[in-house]
Structures are given as C-alpha cells and as structure tokens.
Structure 1
C-alpha cells in the first residue's frame, strides 16, 4: 500500500473485528492519500473472501488427512513458498463428493498453482522442486492402509491455469499462512 507516495505496511487480522454502523461512516470521504495497486487489491480481496468462500471436504477425508498428519506436513512444506505457490488445489475422486467408509480409499490429485513472476522458467523450476517435496511427504505419510492414495501432484503457472479446471478443483487453504504480495519465493527447506 502507498500513502502520499511512500510505501506503508499494514497488518489486517481477521479475528480483530469491530462492528461500525454505516451511518457512522457516511460523513467521511475515502482518504485519497492511500493507494492500493492491482496486486495488493487482489491480495486484499483474496484475504477477505477466504473467510466466506471455503472448500468443503468430507469429514472422512479430513479425518484421514489428520490421522496421517498429512495436513500438518503439507502445511509445513508449503509455508515457506507462499510467495511462489498461489493456490493449493485438491481433486478428490475426480470431483465426486463421497463420504467413503474405512478401507475404501480416496484418490487425491494435488495441483500447485504458481506465480510466474519476472522469470517464468526459474519459477517453473522452483515449483517443480515444491512438487517433488510434496510427493515425498505424501509417499512418507500415505502408506498402505491410510485410505488416501496420491494419484498425482503437478504444478501449473497462473498464466496457464484454465478457468474450466479451476472451477472443478477444490482449494485447500492453509489458514495460518499469510497472503503475500511479493514474487520472491524462498528456497526449499528455508
């Protein structure tokens, strides 16, 4: 965010809410000293919408993720790459929403959508390294009998992600991760 031509950093905490009636705000005009660029506005919109637009995974799938600690390990693996990986999408059972009984495994495909940045080739290489790290975590956590089978994990650039595919995938949100507006991914394991 920019104020009077200089960069300012703000922190927004969704749990620190205060109800302000519109009638109290009506007397004020927007402060033209503050400017939010397109990317910053996108991050703000994403942050605000995350509270109201959540993916709904079946209880059985969530329980299986927790039982294997796959959710925690994925979060730890992906967290340092918040500047590179824009979205983590799951395709569970080719889009079927089924509560599967024990012994009937879910098939999981993971699609990591990354920001191409100023050097798309370097970003693609970095995203592939994250894919390999995610595959390793899944291999370690999803042993026989865990009731989740990793079908595939892949990365795709934001520029190449078709809307038709984005509509059928379910976004897996890491609520504790921040939305970052920078394009500077950190190296694996940092």
Structure 2
C-alpha cells in the first residue's frame, strides 16, 4: 500500500483571472495594454495534472469594451472567434471582449506561486467553456444553404413605408440584415437553433428550396418573469421571420422557405429539441458588402 501523501491541488481553474500586475511583471501583456486582461483557457484537468506533457497553461487575452456594452452577435458563444460577456471584477461590472486568436502559452510554474482573486461567474464560465470547445466542434450547415443567405436580398421590415420608398435599401443582403437584427436584439438570447427538415447535411440543387425552422431561445434570468423572457425572444423571432418573408432569392443559387420561427426560453427548450437542431454560429455572415 502506498504511503505517499496526496498531491495538494492548486487554486487555478479554467476561467481564473490573472492579476494585471502579475501579467505585466511576467511580460504577458505590454505596458501600453492598460485595458487588457488574461483569463485561463486551459481545462481544469490539465491544470491540475503533474504529467510531463502538461507543464504549460494557455491564457486568452481580453479587452474592456469602451462602449461599456456587449454586442448581441457576440454573446452566448454564438460567434466562433469573439465572445462578449459582462463580468463583475472588484465590484465593477465590466463588458469584456475575448478573442480566440489572442492566446498565449506560459509555464505553469509561473502561476503556481500566486493565487487568483477572481474567476468567471458560473454562467459566464459555462459559456466560456462551450465557446472554447466550439472552435473545433461547430455544427456545419450545407454550403449551399449559407450561399443562399448571402446571395438573397431583403427589405428591412421597419422601412416598408411606400411614402419613403426612396429611403428603402431594396438591395440589402439578407445575411447583413440578419446580422444587424441579431446585433441589436441578441443580448438576452441564449442561442438560435435551426432545422432544415432532415437536410442539415445535404447540398441541394438550386431548384430545390431548403425548408427552415428556427427556435430563438432566451436566457432564463433570475427576477425576470416568463412573460418578459419570451417577450425578448419574440422581438428577435418576429424580425428574423419578416426578413426571410421579404427576401428575393437568386435563382442560380437557390431559395430558403421559412416554415417557422418560434420564440422560447431555456426552461422550455428541451434536450430533445437541442439534439434535433443545429446551434447557429453566424460568424460567417458579413456586413462588408456594397449595400
């Protein structure tokens, strides 16, 4: 029987904040990066193991958003590269932006003589962990489906007044319009989930339309009534549905028929539904066109 004393675990966990002074002292951030923070990205198991191959820790750099507000298109891990969160640090609620490409690797021993004072909240940590993993495990929609969204044009449902027809951007790309409403209304949304009626992995010919079903899922927040939660999801769902219904499609690429766009909450969106839909990562949508 072994009499070896159990190894003492250190306090560092995924989502721990490296104190700014330590990050500056070690040269992990530059002296002019006054708004930069570092969070631990390495998984807890790799942090605690003493294995020879786990002597390094991955840190991810984030910045404080000067606007003080998160963007709807970057919350809840919907964007594969950028994540926005609101996190309380030293009694101040900060809006932070993390970037998957802004990672550094440091020696684990350089952290072990110190202890973290802050760690991401439970909800932020769950989102952070899922977002890190999604970089390599995203659900892939058919290329022909994504191409249809980029080729289609729509009219904003707020600008259909015939008296001001000259102000209507009739050639606005559907992909851009979708990204705009998600940016505007996406902050309270946990995720947007899609179904293509069994054709989620099938490349259709241009003459074959995709049938699209959407579920817009809102966060279940403490102190917020079910009516308030479903109301926030309804606003976004209604705008998304209207954009699809007002779209004109490029026949050479193909069309999408929206069958449903349903608002719901985390509490009502079951595991059964999650397994049968694709979480929509809409980072491929671009606002850089000549609309």
| TM band (smaller chain) | 0.7 to 0.9
How far apart in 2 are the matches of 1:85 and 1:2?
20
Q: Residues 142 and 169 (structure 1 numbering): CA distance in 2 closer, same or farther, change over 3 Å?
A: farther
Count of paired positions: 173
Deviations 1:101-137 (A, max 9, x none): 1101111111111113222211212221221111110
CA distance in 2, matches of 1:70, 1:170: 20
TM-score normalised by L of structure 2: 0.53
CA drift of 1:139 comes to 0.8
Query: Could you tell me how far apart the structure 1 residues matched to 2:206 and 2:196 are?
Result: 16
1:53 aligns with 2:137: yes
- Between the two structures, name the one with larger relative contact order (CA 8 Å, sep ≥ 6): 1
Hey, which of these two has a bigger chunk of strand by percent?
2
Q: Which has the larger share of helix?
A: 1
Are the aligned partners of 1:95 and 1:168 in contact in 2 as well (CA < 8 Å)?
Answer: no
| 1:130 alignment partner in structure 2 | 236
Taking a change above 3 Å as real, the CA distance of residues 11 and 64 of structure 1, as seen in their structure-2 partners, is closer
1:148 paired to 2:256: yes
Q: SS in structure 1 opposite 2:105?
A: coil
Extract unaligned runs of 5+ from structure 1: 178-190
Secondary structure of the corresponding residue to residue 239 of structure 2: helix
Q: Which consecutive aligned stretches of 4+ in structure 1 deviate over 6 angstroms post-superposition? A: none
Q: Secondary structure at the match of 1:107?
A: strand
Give ranges in structure 2 of 5+ residues lacking alignment. 1-86, 153-172, 286-291
In 2: Cα distance, 1:142 partner to 1:111 partner: 23
- State the superposition RMSD in angstroms: 2.4
Q: TM-score, normalised by structure 1?
A: 0.79
For the pair shown, the structure with the greater C-alpha radius of gyration is: 2
